[in-house]
Structure 1
Amino acid sequence: MGSASEARFHYVDVPSVTDGLRHATSGTTLTTILRTADGVGVEARYEPRTATSPGDATDTAIVLAHGFTGSADRPAVRRAAAVFARYAAVVTFSFRGHGRSGGRSTVGDREVLDLAAAVAWARSLGHSRVVTVGFSMGGSVVLRHAALFRADEQTRGAHTDAVVAVSAPARWYYRGTAPMRRLHWLVSRPVGRLVGRYGFGTRIHHAEWDPVPLSPVEAVPLIAPTPLLVVHGDRDPYFPLDHPRMLAAAGPCVLWLEPGMGHAENAADDELLGRIGDWLVRAWTMMDTR
């Protein structure tokens, strides 16, 4: 289930479905199947910016990474995408094993390749700046992706220019809350994986990680100088506040602790999503986050 090593990834294959910025500015919504570096087909959707006033954000695309058992079509993801579209173009996709994507979920390991394919696709549509925001499992994925994919020829545009991790874990194998104990049962037991497939529409890989991937807290020091924002609710039932505080202590970042907020995209209200969208399109000018 794990990658051969946690060295930096390289090639990402993005289908040639567009001829560049013409699509990014024409008001066209695009859907496609991306092919990841390890051959998994990932469904993806591009939506242009909805704001009518001109601005610097026209060259920016936000790539949204959903949480475990989510998908690009889930109402909370669609709501978040609609808010982010006020600030920039938006790419949503379903992680492997979720929605109409192929493969099976590795619960945050090989999913970095899914995100890399979505980021590279956004750049192929003509966006010079591509930023990422992830929720829960997606939050751990955007952190590892930012650490492993750097801005050079090896990753062929699959790198991010700014990162937001919402409700992300700091460390693997956490079982300190009842929801996380239930999640571990879902992932680790055959009957749990059946519940995941037929109850949540999520196909989960049976193999354990080998090797164990870089943890989110280990990824954070490798992200700088890319701007990083960590967002977490003080009523998160999955991960208590020691998780975001560990992430914030591990390297340069901005930390928002949100009063009354629960977990991930379902708990993020439109006001918070708007603040995140605004931060993402302005992050490159905020030198104090670097």
Structure 2
Amino acid sequence: MKASRRAVPDGARPGSVALVRGAVVALTTALVSVTGLLAFLAGRAARQVVTPAARVADTRLVDVDTAAQTITLDRTAQTVLPGRYGLFTTGTQDYLKLGTVLTADDATVTRKLLTQIGADDRLSGAAAFSGWYFTRPEELHLPFESISVPTSLGPAPAWVFPAPAPTDVWAIHVHGRGTTRSESLRAVPVFHAAGITSLIASYRNDGEAPPSAGGTSALGATEWSDIDQAIASARRRGARRVVLFGWSMGGAVVLQVALNSAHRDLIAGIVLDSPVVDWRQVLTHQARLMGLPGPLAKVALDALGRSWAGRLTGSDVAIPFDELDLVSRAAELTSPTLILHSNGDDFVPPDASRLLHAARPELVEFEEFEVAGHTKLWNYDEERWAAAVHGWLARHGLTGAAVAGS
């Protein structure tokens, strides 16, 4: 009996077949390697999105004149802007208040110091320019109380600034990603002047409130429940109408509260400063700024939305981007809304804010600023910012509110 042999294609020798097989194996290995590299890079990009952000130095302290009380910084698009700002630094002081621009050239900017610096002070050269301005509630020179808001993860710290007279209208202030409650302090005076009590809330994974199991951000998809509990706390203290105020990612959180809250009957209005209205637009834009190729950014976003990719992205939960897209869900909004956004915002561009206004012009007012940076509208033009917020509150009958129960 003859031994069986595999058929060899016409014109192909056994050695040629081996070469083809080797090429196929090599190509397959290369494809797996490229796919693995793409997954690795996409995972790294995705992790940056959900990992709580750390403050990063974005300017350099060049000189401090203690006699003139001025500070000189590297010139950037932000440090040259007019207005009042803050500067995070390290050394004998960790935060400085900065006033108006005094001089500027192509390389540096000199501003007035609003925090006293002495000859013995020593400051690091690396610094971070900030819109916070206020860092502690005492700086507002208004009565306040520190409270705890019970959440499913434990007590979350909050500040309450009572209105000048008893009122049933409260504002719940919600900070953005990578910041703390202090970011919201700027808004308190205009609400206080309008006769509204303010509660400045914290939420999971912000470094003050209790962390989630994995400690990662859900971009508003889970954080909103902590703010819902803040509304419940306000309700127990006499609130009958609530204005939600969100900064940046705090805007995404607030919008989820507006759609999902067990206390929707209390929500009388929404104010948003530089808000995230559609995370896909924001993250795609930020990926371009980072120089990430479009396909890589798309893979990273897709991975963030998949529960099975949690080990790759590091995310506690799959990010429900459709639920967080308030342009698509504009019809579900029921509360009067004021959006404050700048065309100079290169971190969260105002495109989605404009689209939300266009989708619901009868419900959503849009106040567009120019030049001002992300969440720095108050700093750039405090008078216009305060007038816009106060005017909107007045138009909706939310100033000088009645005493609870009257």
Q: Does the TM-score normalized on the shorter chain lie above 0.5?
A: yes
Other-structure match for 1:18: none
Q: Does 1:259 align with 2:366?
A: no
Alpha-carbon contact 2:252-2:324 (below 8 Å) kept: no
Other-structure match for 2:156: 42
Within a 5 Å distance, the mapping from 1:118-197 to structure 2 comes to 118-149=230-261, 155-156=262-263, 159-173=266-280, 174-177=283-286, 181=290
Report the number of matched residues. Answer: 227
Instruction: Output one character per residue of 1:141-180: Cα deviation in whole Å (capped at 9) or x when no partner.
Output: 112211222xxxxx25674210012211232233214697
2:336 to 223, 227, 234: 227
- Give distance in 2, aligned partners of 1:275 and 1:180: 33
- Give distance in 1, aligned partners of 2:348 and 2:208: 28
Letter in 2 for 1:91: L
Other-structure match for 2:210: 102
Q: Does 1:78 align with 2:78?
A: no
- Give distance in 2, aligned partners of 1:121 and 1:66: 18
Q: Structure 1 residues 273, 205: closer, same or farther in 2, change over 3 A?
A: farther
Letter in 1 for 2:326: P
- Give distance in 2, aligned partners of 1:210 and 1:61: 30
Other-structure match for 2:167: 58
Q: Secondary structure at the match of 1:268?
A: helix
- Give distance in 2, aligned partners of 1:275 and 1:122: 26
Aligned-residue offset at 1:207: 2.9
Instruction: Output one character per residue of 1:86-133: Cα deviation in whole Å (capped at 9) or x when no partner.
Output: 221111012211132101332211111121111221222112221111
Letter in 2 for 1:31: S
Aligned-residue offset at 1:233: 0.6
CA RMSD in angstroms comes to: 3.1
Q: Secondary structure at the match of 1:58?
A: coil
Aligned-residue offset at 1:231: 1.4
Other-structure match for 1:218: 328
Alpha-carbon contact 1:167-1:239 (below 8 Å) kept: yes
- Give distance in 1, aligned partners of 2:390 and 2:288: 31
Q: Does 1:33 align with 2:148?
A: yes
Q: Secondary structure at the match of 1:131?
A: strand
Q: Which has the higher strand share?
A: 2
TM-score with structure 2 setting the length: 0.50
- Give distance in 2, aligned partners of 1:205 and 1:61: 37
- Give distance in 2, aligned partners of 1:159 and 1:285: 14
TM-score with structure 1 setting the length: 0.68
Alpha-carbon contact 2:274-2:350 (below 8 Å) kept: no
Task: Specify every segment of 5 or more residues in structure 1 that has no aligned partner in the other structure, as ranges.
Answer: 1-26, 150-154, 189-203
Instruction: Output one character per residue of 1:29-78: Cα deviation in whole Å (capped at 9) or x when no partner.
Output: 32222122x4343211111124xxx6xx9331111111111111x3x422
Q: Structure 1 residues 157, 163: closer, same or farther in 2, change over 3 A?
A: closer
Q: Secondary structure at the match of 1:139?
A: helix
Q: Structure 1 residues 140, 157: closer, same or farther in 2, change over 3 A?
A: closer
Alpha-carbon contact 1:116-1:159 (below 8 Å) kept: no
Other-structure match for 1:16: none
Aligned-residue offset at 1:238: 1.1
Identify the structure with bigger relative contact order (alpha carbons < 8 Å, sequence gap 6+).
1
Alpha-carbon contact 1:140-1:165 (below 8 Å) kept: no
Q: Between Structure 1 and Structure 2, whose CA radius of gyration is higher?
A: 2
- Give distance in 2, aligned partners of 1:58 and 1:248: 30
